[in-house]
């Protein structure tokens, strides 16, 4: 079974994901500087795929399996 996100939201410090297996995952925004420095509108412009999340304007891609493994972004902001 592939686990994907079906809802993405944010608060001031956290990226929140509702996953298709019923889990809710909260990830610190400091792990993803491109999102930390984004406007609320830019953060909301997320595209979900079977493999993860994509923000075209911010050039950010996040893998759901990497998040579940506890891996932050590895690129420079």
Domains and CATH numbers, the chain: 5-68 (3.30.2020.40)
> For position 49, what pLDDT does the model report?
87
Q: Residue 71: pLDDT above 80?
A: no
Q: 16-60: per-residue pLDDT in tens? A: 999 999 999 999 999 999 999 999 999 999 999 888 999 999 999
* pLDDT given at position 74: 65
For residue 77, name the pLDDT band (cuts at 50, 70, 90): very low
Q: Which residues of 38-61 are buried (b: 16+ CB within 10 A; e: fewer)?
A: beeebbeebeeeeebbebeebebb
């Amino acid at each position: 079974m592939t686990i994907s996100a079906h809802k993405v939201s944010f608060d001031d410090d956290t990226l929140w994901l509702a996953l298709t297996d019923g889990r809710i995952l909260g990830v610190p925004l400091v792990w993803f500087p491109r999102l930390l420095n984004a406007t609320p509108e830019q953060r909301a412009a997320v595209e979900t795929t079977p493999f993860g999340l994509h923000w075209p304007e911010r050039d950010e891609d996040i893998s759901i399996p990497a998040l579940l493994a506890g891996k932050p972004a590895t690129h420079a902001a």
